[in-house]
Chain A
Amino acid sequence: MTKMVGVDVGGTFTDVFVLDEATGRASVAKVPTTRPDQSGGFLAGIGKQIADMGEIAVVVHGTTAGTNALLERKGAKIGVITTQGLGDVLEMRRRDRPRTWGLRGDFKPVVPRDRRLEVPERTLADGTIRTPVDLDAVRDAARRLIDMGCKAVAVLFANAYANPENERAAVEAVRAVWPNEHVAASSEILPEIREFERFSTTALNAYLQPEVAGYLDRLETALKGGGFKGEFLIVQSNGGVMGVETACRLPVRTALSGPAAGVIAAGYIAETAGFPDVITGDVGGTSFDVSLVAGGRSMLAPQTSIDFGMVVRTPMIEIATIGAGGGSIAWVDKGGLLNIGPESAGSDPGPVAYGRGNDRPTVTDANIVLGRIDPDNPIGGVLDRLDVDAAARAIDTHVGQPLGLTTLAAAEAILTVANSRMAGAIRLVSIERGHDPKRFSYMPFGGGGALHAGAILADVGLARAIVPRYPGVTSAMGCVIADMRQDFVQTLNVMAASVDEAAMRAVMQAHVDEGLALLDAARSRFETREVIFELDMAYVGQTHTVSVPLPVAVNGGRVDAPTRDGIAQAFDAAYHATYGRLLKDGVRRVMNLRTAVIGRRPKFDLSALAPAEGGSVEAARKGARRVHFADRWHDTAIYDRLSLPVGAVIEGPAILEQLDTTILIEPWLKGTVDPFGNVILERRA
């Protein structure tokens, strides 16, 4: 039982990363994702690397099962019991619209109005119960929802964050008439102010519960059937892992599980390589996803919208997306301007060169026509060869002729515009977080990322790109690296100067107790345990809160009491860091307490990924082919990336190939293999 396995199930491929802790060896596998039941590909992928599942100590899974169920509206039939007068909150959202321009599009909530039943009850903002909950009405509502065939129910009461008593009583009454593990109150899932966000998160959680719990159960059963006796963990959108029981209870926390694991891996790889400030770029089929890691820490966003009106409020690794991926379609508009996306051919039918029915040129087609992708050995092993001529014809018809460019110039133009948009996304993400992008390194991952890295370095002015050893399986690797983490929140809504220190300590202690209990229940080994407290605070009159790290010690599981002075000082420091000044007579308010309880898992030594000794640049050389850069063809050396030894320096132009990735070293760049097997792209001297 020495093997750790990370499995990331994506739309097209299921990636597996195996680390043998005994030998320090790592191996990877990539198999097609199976649909509709993803467990087939999941098990096949593991089976490719491991014959005996009894050797596996832990399986960590990054999943899109929850996200897909939300996007495709394939969750369970659920009902809602809510405060009288407020039954439409889920459908009214926060009075927004799908797109700024056009005024088109409508919205169908996951719970239609006839399954949102109102009951008499009301709690005020200060926690006072104005109307005790009418339990007869609750029981009646529960029975009606059963009759309608609901599989789960969410109890959503106004101001339940301030006093959960009415919600608790209602949940108890529902369970009494309807024994069902899928009954949850909003104050259990997210005891935080803002009813739409809390109701939405709770309802979407209920909507996912039967589906995701069933999926994880099938996986676990199959693993056990194969002799697996280890621990099964799930990656959350906050980049930490949780036990499978927690995931079944809180499936909404898996919303961005896979991409989050990728960012965790990227941050760790970059930091180990000596570059703690890194911007990651994942070039997928339809999108380019950017995330920023500063000082080794990834950024967390408080919430995300999975789709219009489907808000999930739980801490998530912040990932910005633009519609410019390998499958994005290049087109010339009526005004004569070349555009990339947002329309995409995705992976099916995919680029023109795939020969599966798309005849409009994509970014990948441009890479193929310019010789940057080997047409005889397409990635993924699904196709035998790529149709270069068809790609060239499509580029000529849709871009070359309208703009009066040769086919090659048109292909270069497509890449220039696509690269410029990706570079733009990187600059904007940096500015929005208050960083100068020039200080950062760039880490491309995903199958296509390393084709565009050189252009992005040039455009943004970054010093280097770090191409990890296995860029195509970064998320699977992140599964193995991620720590165990639980996030808690409680709205306090009190003035900092009149905080009840003992009451606040009690809330902090309850969070820590629950978090540590979850760590205790896990079978993983933890090197250290860490508790992070943060307060959302603002001056009175301001709705925009700042996140205030609160330095309160935890000794032997016991939380020290916070002090009013300590809170005030922490706020001043955080506020000054954000806004560069303080308000002279501002009154400080504490809105929310956030607690993260983290079990740091042992980090594996990334040098395990380094190439074996004894290789040589000459031996790694596979040949040469013509590759087009700027305005002419270059004879370009092709190398087998994984055979290059540590310390190898490859001057551009060159291409490094591996199973699922092509690394393009442009003529002005050189690539160096570092001691961890990464390829560092930098300007040539």
Chain B
Amino acid sequence: MSGIDPITLAVLAGRMEQIADEMDATLFRAAFNPIIAEAHDASHGLYHAATGDTLVQGKSGLPIFVGVMAFAVKAVIDKAAQDGDLADGDIYIFNDAHLGGTHLSDMRLVRPYFRDGQLFCYLASVGHWHDVGGAVPGNYNPAATDAFQEAFVLPPVRIARKGVINQDIIDILMRNTRLPQSAMGDLNGQLGALDLGVKRLDALLDEYGADTVRAALDALGERAEKLMRAELAALPDGRWEAEDFLDNDGITDRALLIRVALEIRGDKMVLDFAGTAPVTAGPVNIALPTAVATAYVAIKHIFPGLPANAGVMRPIEVRIPDGSLLSAAFPAPVGGYTETILRMIDVIFSAMAQAAPTRVVANAYGTINALSIAGKRANGAPWVMFSFFGGGHGGSPESDGLNHGNAPISTATIPPLEILEAAYPVMFRQWALRPDSAGAGAHRGGLGAVYEIELLEENARAFLFGERGRFAPKGIAGGGEAALNHFEYEQDDGWHAPPMTSKMLGMQLKRGQAVRLETPGGGGYGAPGDRDPAAVARDVALGFLSADRATALYGDAWKGSAQ
């Protein structure tokens, strides 16, 4: 490998990964905003000087950022080429999701790292800020039809020039957020993380020399590529297709097709999304960088031992058709990107399951269900409760799926109901596993959940952005579908479901009325007929499965079976 000895390489691999980990730790500690401090919705890494490719990325950051950050750095490389005067101590900042992927809440800072007057690599930091302006506090606007309704848009500009902070940029940023103190805390944390990265890289290069470190970075890229090729070569050649749908875009009630063809030839793979629906009016579009990064997330779930290094993607071609909702151009709204990328992961898993069923798990619940309830207290103080909700994971070759897990693109946990009840005038009538929600299979899916939330104040409005109301999470290797997402809200004349099933703006609630969210479970793995009847009997005894459904799905064998 590239003329570096294997011992130095192994040590440098760990040292560089640790620089990124330490940058993560620096921001988590400094951030004021719980989305970063607690949910770790942030990421840091080292990126290639010419291409922006990911060289090393921290282990603690959000999964979706592994991959999307390379695009953020590339956007800065392009901008710096236009500017034509990149210098040591410059730092670019932007949130433009069409350039950098994900959504406008993610503020990206990119800093060139120079060694002996030469550009050596880039360091970057991304973090989800609490508020970046736009029509809705917190920037989750299900009715947005363009980016300007989602947030203010900052293209790549220099917040620091040759080591001197440009206060003008900070002033503009702080005037465009509802929470300037929180934003300032995050910004300082991100600047601090970049400073630490520079310090650590200085020390590493002092110790090993720039040539050795560069050789190690090259070798690690080659190694990542080699690992990926070895994994692909072990899979059968062929072409497999899978498709699924988004319910609608929240504006028009029309299903949106997501399609993939997965082709493996030798040690190469193509993921072709041709046939996917065109760009749409509502915010379920995603930008091209997000689409490519999502392929990366799916691949890392399938091959969890692979490093976070762009070399992994060299044997893989991701084809995203122009004009599709997976490559939406500015200013198409992209705020609901989570739903679309979850569906991309589902179809990649479903296609891979045909090639190598033991390498994947069945589809997870597939929607984040962003639910907010907002109102005013008796004293006039406004309140907004906002959270994502969980569901079941897919059955796997080894076991049933996990009950009530988090989304594959995130590692965030849900707040305890007591924290929500203490902070907002609501009461959870129910917070439970949802019976009959799992996909059947030799290993069934995990169960989804039921959350029923009652309003304790006079009036409030509820907003929901979810999916899987019309198309259920799929099983693989013969496993069955999970239950659909189901949402209802209570009115004087009883319970109602929104016309778009899982998306709705401003449902009016009175004191004592509730909303009820029932989330999907995970798809099943393997044929239901192969399930141990004792396991079926146990699910019935525990109330996870009704007796009628058990018989319908699995036959009668469970009835005589000891649990």
Which residues of A come within 8 Å of B, CB atoms?
85-89, 91-107, 112-114, 122, 124-125, 130, 158-159, 161, 193-197, 333-339, 403-405, 409, 412-413, 416-417, 420-421, 424, 427-428, 431-432, 434, 493, 542-544, 579, 583-584, 586
Cross-chain contact B431 with A337 (CB below 8 angstroms): no
3 A-B pairs with the lowest CB-CB distances in the bound complex, closest first = A335-B223, A95-B390, A101-B304
Cross-chain contact A91 with B10 (CB below 8 angstroms): no
Residues of chain B contacted by A99 (CB below 8 angstroms): 304
Cross-chain contact A91 with B404 (CB below 8 angstroms): yes
B138 interfacial by beta-carbon distance below 8 Å: no
Cross-chain contact A413 with B10 (CB below 8 angstroms): yes
Q: How far is B26's CA from A91's CA once the two chains are assembled, in angstroms?
A: 33
14 new A-B contacts at CB < 8 Å, known A101-B301, A196-B416: A85-B432, A86-B417, A102-B301, A106-B399, A113-B544, A161-B418, A193-B418, A333-B305, A334-B230, A335-B226, A412-B7, A417-B14, A543-B38, A543-B419
Residues of chain A contacted by B403 (CB below 8 angstroms): 91-92, 106-107
Partner of A107, one of B396, B402, B416: B402
Tell me which residues from 331 to 371 in chain B have a Cβ below 8 Å from any Cβ of chain A.
361, 364
Chain B CB within 10 Å, residue with most, of A88, A122, A195, A583: A88
Q: How far is B316's CA from A410's CA once the two chains are assembled, in angstroms?
A: 34
Residues of chain B contacted by A197 (CB below 8 angstroms): 416
Q: How far is B7's CA from A113's CA once the two chains are assembled, in angstroms?
A: 51
| B187 smallest CB distance to A (angstroms) | 13
Cross-chain contact B32 with A542 (CB below 8 angstroms): yes
Contact with A along B385-401 (1 / 0, CB 8 A): 00001100110101111
Residues of chain B contacted by A421 (CB below 8 angstroms): 14
Residues of chain B contacted by A97 (CB below 8 angstroms): 393, 402, 405-406, 411
Cross-chain contact B364 with A103 (CB below 8 angstroms): yes
Q: A92-B433, A95-B413, A105-B402 given as contacts; is B428 within 8 A of A424 (CB)?
A: no
Cross-chain contact B223 with A336 (CB below 8 angstroms): yes
Cross-chain contact B300 with A113 (CB below 8 angstroms): no
Residues of chain B contacted by A543 (CB below 8 angstroms): 34, 38, 415, 419
Q: A86-B428, A96-B413 given as contacts; is B63 within 8 A of A101 (CB)?
A: yes
25 A/B residue pairs, CB under 8 Å, sorted by A:
A88-B432, A95-B404, A97-B402, A98-B402, A101-B63, A101-B300, A105-B402, A106-B393, A106-B446, A107-B402, A114-B543, A124-B427, A125-B418, A125-B421, A125-B422, A159-B421, A195-B418, A196-B416, A334-B227, A335-B224, A337-B220, A337-B223, A427-B18, A543-B419, A579-B32
Q: How far is B15's CA from A484's CA once the two chains are assembled, in angstroms?
A: 41
Residues of chain B contacted by A432 (CB below 8 angstroms): 25, 29
B414 interfacial by beta-carbon distance below 8 Å: yes
| B330 smallest CB distance to A (angstroms) | 31
Q: A96-B405, A412-B7 given as contacts; is B452 within 8 A of A336 (CB)?
A: no
Cross-chain contact A85 with B430 (CB below 8 angstroms): yes
Q: How far is B25's CA from A432's CA once the two chains are assembled, in angstroms?
A: 6
Q: How far is B432's CA from A635's CA once the two chains are assembled, in angstroms?
A: 68
Cross-chain contact A579 with B304 (CB below 8 angstroms): no
Q: How far is B10's CA from A335's CA once the two chains are assembled, in angstroms?
A: 11
Q: How far is B361's CA from A197's CA once the two chains are assembled, in angstroms?
A: 29
Q: How far is B361's CA from A404's CA once the two chains are assembled, in angstroms?
A: 38
Chain A CB within 10 Å, residue with most, of B37, B304, B422, B429: B422
Tell me which residues from 506 to 563 in chain B have a Cβ below 8 Å from any Cβ of chain A.
541-544
Q: How far is B306's CA from A643's CA once the two chains are assembled, in angstroms?
A: 51
Nearest residue (CB) in B for A332 is B6
Partner of A544, one of B1, B37, B427, B456: B37
Residues of chain A contacted by B456 (CB below 8 angstroms): 124
B45 interfacial by beta-carbon distance below 8 Å: no
Give how many A-B residue pairs fall within 8 Å (CB-CB).
200
Question: Interface residue tally of chain B, by bracket?
Answer: 35 or more
B21 interfacial by beta-carbon distance below 8 Å: yes
Cross-chain contact B390 with A195 (CB below 8 angstroms): no
Residues of chain B contacted by A88 (CB below 8 angstroms): 404, 431-433
Q: How far is B31's CA from A544's CA once the two chains are assembled, in angstroms?
A: 10
Q: How far is B402's CA from A101's CA once the two chains are assembled, in angstroms?
A: 14
Residues of chain B contacted by A196 (CB below 8 angstroms): 416
Residues of chain A contacted by B157 (CB below 8 angstroms): none
Residues of chain A contacted by B235 (CB below 8 angstroms): none
Cross-chain contact A193 with B430 (CB below 8 angstroms): no
| B379 smallest CB distance to A (angstroms) | 13
B278 interfacial by beta-carbon distance below 8 Å: no
Residues of chain B contacted by A103 (CB below 8 angstroms): 301, 361, 364, 393-394, 396, 402, 405, 408
Partner of A85, one of B230, B398, B405, B452: B452
Cross-chain contact A417 with B10 (CB below 8 angstroms): yes
Partner of B541, one of A91, A114, A413, A542: A114
Tell me which residues from 446 to 495 in chain B have a Cβ below 8 Å from any Cβ of chain A.
446, 449, 452, 456
Cross-chain contact A334 with B7 (CB below 8 angstroms): no
Residues of chain A contacted by B89 (CB below 8 angstroms): none
Residues of chain B contacted by A583 (CB below 8 angstroms): 181
Nearest residue (CB) in B for A582 is B181
Q: A420-B15, A434-B29, A543-B38 given as contacts; is B224 within 8 A of A113 (CB)?
A: no
B13 interfacial by beta-carbon distance below 8 Å: yes
Cross-chain contact B6 with A403 (CB below 8 angstroms): yes
B30 interfacial by beta-carbon distance below 8 Å: yes
Q: How far is B541's CA from A104's CA once the two chains are assembled, in angstroms?
A: 25
Cross-chain contact A193 with B416 (CB below 8 angstroms): yes
Residues of chain A contacted by B29 (CB below 8 angstroms): 432, 434
B321 interfacial by beta-carbon distance below 8 Å: no
Chain B CB within 10 Å, residue with most, of A93, A339, A434, A586: A93
B436 interfacial by beta-carbon distance below 8 Å: no
Cross-chain contact A100 with B226 (CB below 8 angstroms): no
Nearest residue (CB) in A for B397 is A104
Q: How far is B305's CA from A130's CA once the two chains are assembled, in angstroms?
A: 51
B9 interfacial by beta-carbon distance below 8 Å: yes
B185 interfacial by beta-carbon distance below 8 Å: yes
Q: How far is B399's CA from A105's CA once the two chains are assembled, in angstroms?
A: 7
Cross-chain contact A94 with B416 (CB below 8 angstroms): yes
Q: How far is B16's CA from A337's CA once the two chains are assembled, in angstroms?
A: 14
| A630 smallest CB distance to B (angstroms) | 11
Partner of A106, one of B226, B230, B400: B400
B172 interfacial by beta-carbon distance below 8 Å: no
Residues of chain B contacted by A91 (CB below 8 angstroms): 403-404, 433
Partner of B413, one of A87, A94, A106: A94
Q: A92-B449, A97-B393, A434-B29 given as contacts; is B419 within 8 A of A193 (CB)?
A: yes
B22 interfacial by beta-carbon distance below 8 Å: yes
B81 interfacial by beta-carbon distance below 8 Å: no
Q: A96-B405, A159-B418 given as contacts; is B22 within 8 A of A428 (CB)?
A: yes
Nearest residue (CB) in A for B311 is A335
Q: How far is B114's CA from A448's CA once the two chains are assembled, in angstroms?
A: 41
B378 interfacial by beta-carbon distance below 8 Å: no
Q: How far is B542's CA from A342's CA once the two chains are assembled, in angstroms?
A: 36
Residues of chain B contacted by A95 (CB below 8 angstroms): 389-390, 404-406, 413-414
Q: A101-B300, A103-B408, A113-B543 given as contacts; is B418 within 8 A of A579 (CB)?
A: no
Q: How far is B268's CA from A73's CA once the two chains are assembled, in angstroms?
A: 44
Chain B CB within 10 Å, residue with most, of A87, A92, A405, A434: A92
B11 interfacial by beta-carbon distance below 8 Å: yes
Residues of chain A contacted by B432 (CB below 8 angstroms): 85-88, 92
Q: How far is B390's CA from A196's CA once the two chains are assembled, in angstroms?
A: 15
Residues of chain A contacted by B6 (CB below 8 angstroms): 336-338, 403-405, 413
Nearest residue (CB) in A for B23 is A431
Residues of chain A contacted by B32 (CB below 8 angstroms): 542, 544, 579
Partner of A195, one of B21, B301, B417: B417
Nearest residue (CB) in A for B424 is A125
Cross-chain contact A114 with B542 (CB below 8 angstroms): yes
| B228 smallest CB distance to A (angstroms) | 9
Cross-chain contact A424 with B419 (CB below 8 angstroms): no
Partner of B399, one of A104, A112, A195, A544: A104
Residues of chain A contacted by B185 (CB below 8 angstroms): 579
Nearest residue (CB) in B for A97 is B405
